[in-house]
Amino acid sequence: MQHTPWWQGAVIYQVYPRSFMDSNNDGVGDLKGIIDRFDYIESLGVDAVWVSPFFKSPMKDFGYDISDYRDVDPLFGSLDDFDALIARAKQSDIKIIIDQVLSHTSDQHAWFEESRQDKTNPKADWYVWADPKPDGTAPNNWMSIFGGTAWQWEPRRGQYFLHNFLSSQPDLNFHNEDVQKAVLDNVEFWLKRGVGGFRLDAINFCFHDKELRDNPAKPKELRAGRGFSEDNPYAYQYHYFNNTQPENLEFMEQLRQLFDQYDEVVSLGEISSEDSLKDMALYTHNNQRLNMAYSFELLTDDFSAQHIKDTVSSLEAQMTGGWPCWAVSNHDADRVVTRWGKGKENAQLARMLAAMLGSLKGSICTYQGEELGLSQAELSFEELQDPFGITFWPQFKGRDGCRTPMPWQHDAKQGGFSTEKPWLPVSQSHLPLAVDKQDSDESSPLNSYRTFMKWRKAHPALVTGDIEFVSTDDNVLMFIRHCPNASMEKILCVFNFNEHNVDIKLTHDVAQFLNGCPFVMNASTLASSTTSINVDGFSGFYAHIK
C-alpha cells in the first residue's frame, strides 16, 4: 500500500509564543509556557504545532527580524527549552514545525553588520546593494510592504540596501551562492535538533530581479484584495520584480533535497504574489519543491461560498503533485469571526468555520484562539506594538488585535496568561470565552472543535480524499469528499454562510447522516428520498452519499 505522509490532511495548530503562556511572569509568553499548556494542545486533536519565531532578535518585527538563526532569544528561553518542547511533543506524537524567515535578516545580524561597512568585505555581496540614481534617489520604484520606499541609504557604503519589509529587515542576496549555502546550513541546524517541519515565511521573496527593473503601476480598482489596503502604496504596483523570481524555484528544489535527507519532514511555504494560487502550484510542482503552500486568499474580507469554491477549485486545477494547506486566521490577519462575521460574531459562526475549514481538501492551520471563537481585540493607539499598525493608524490598525494573550481563566489576573502586565493587554471581551469557561460547556466552540477534529480523523474522505464541488444558490457551500479506495467513502458537506435559515436542495441521494459530529442533525429528519432540507444560519451538515 502507498504510504500517506503524516502531514497530508494534518491539522496544524499555530502558536504565537509571545501570547500563548507566560511561564516566568515577565509579561511575555515563552517556550516553557507552551510545554506547560501542551496537554491543552493535545486535547485539540491536532497533528502538529507551528511555533512562530523564537530566535534571537531585536524584536522590531517581533521575531521576524532574526539576528541569530541558531539560538533562542532569552525572552523565550533557551535551546534546552526548545529541546524539551520537542521531547514533550514527541510524547503526544505531535510534530513541531518552526518558522524560518529566509528572505531577510535583522540589521543587527552579524552578516549585515559586516556587509554594511564597505564594498570589499567578505560579506559585501550578501545583501541587495545598489547605487543611487544620478540625482541621488533610490535605484528603482520598489515599495516596502510596511510603507514607503523599499530602499534605505547606507552612508558607510554610499549605497542603498533593499528591504521588502521594515528598514531594519535587509534582504539577503540569494543570487550569491554563498548566501544560499549559509541559509541551508542554518536550516539543517534545526533539522538535526529533531523538528518535524518548517513554515517558510515569505518564501517567494528570496530572489529579486537582477536588473532592478521598475514594477509597473496597478490600476486603482485592482489595488485591494490581496491583504493590503488600497491606502498602502505597496498596493499601487504589480510586484513582478521584487519577488517571485524564476531562480527561486531552483532554490526550493535545493531546500527539498535537504529536507528529504531527514525522516518525514514537511515544508510549508507562505506565498504572497500577484497570482498566489498559480505560485502555490509552482512551488509544490511535481512533489519536487515544497510539500505544501498556503496564501492569503482565505485571509481576506470576502466571506462567501462562491469565493471559497472559486479559490479551492482554481488551486485544484493548477496543482500537480503538491498538497494544499488552508487557513482562515493567522498572526497577520484580523480574527476570522470578526473579519467574516462583520459584527455578527457568535459561537455558531465559530463552530461552522472550524468545520468548513476542516472539510476542505488539504491540510489546515488553526491559529491559537480560533478554537475558542475569539474576536478581534480592540486596542487604543497607545497600546499598539505593531510597527505596521502604528504607521497606518487609523485607516489600518495593524496586527496587534489578533495577537493579544490567550485567555486561560475567566476570573484570573490577566486571564491566567501571566501575573504581570502582558506585552499586549488581555482583551476583556475574551474573558467570557476563556478556556476554563468553555471546558465545562459541551456545546462551546472549544468542545465542538475537539469533537469535530476527533470525528474528522475517523473519516479518510475528509482527511485525504478528493473534492468535488456541487453548484448551489443562496450563499451555500456544498461539496463531496470521496476516497478512491476500498472503502469508497463519499461524504456530502454542506455549509450555510447566511445568518438566516436556508432551504438547501440536495442533488445527490443521501443515505444517512453521520453520527458523532457537532453539525449532524437528527438522522430521522432526512431520508434517502429527501430533496431539500432547512438548515440553520451559520450551520451545516454532513451526509453519506450512496
> Who's near 310: CB < 8 A, 6+ residues apart?
none
Pair 284, 294: CB distance under 8 Å: no
Closest CA to 281 of 239, 315, 244, 310: 315
Reduced DSSP (H G I as helix, E B as strand, rest coil) percent helix, strand, coil of the chain, to 5: 30, 20, 50
- Using alpha carbons, select from 184, 179, 35, 20 the residue that is nearest to residue 115: 179
Cell of 34: 507552551
Place of cell 497570482: 275
Residue 349 main-chain phi, psi, to 5 deg: -65, -40
- Is 201 a known active-site residue? yes
Active-site residue 42, yes or no? no
Candidates 137, 202, 204, 214; CA nearest to 169 is 202
Cell matching residue 321: 503533485
Contacts with 356 (C-beta within 8 Å, 6 or more apart), sequence order: 308, 477, 493, 495, 540
Show the cell assigned to 439: 471546558
Helix (H) / strand (E) element for 366: namely: strand 363-367
Catalytic residue (one of 81, 171, 201, 345): 201
Q: Which of 47, 270, 334, 345 is catalytic?
A: 270
HSE-up of residue 138 (Cα within 13 Å, Cβ side): 18
Tell me how many degrees the CA angle 77-81-83 measures, rounded to the nearest 5.
Answer: 145
Active site residues: 201, 270
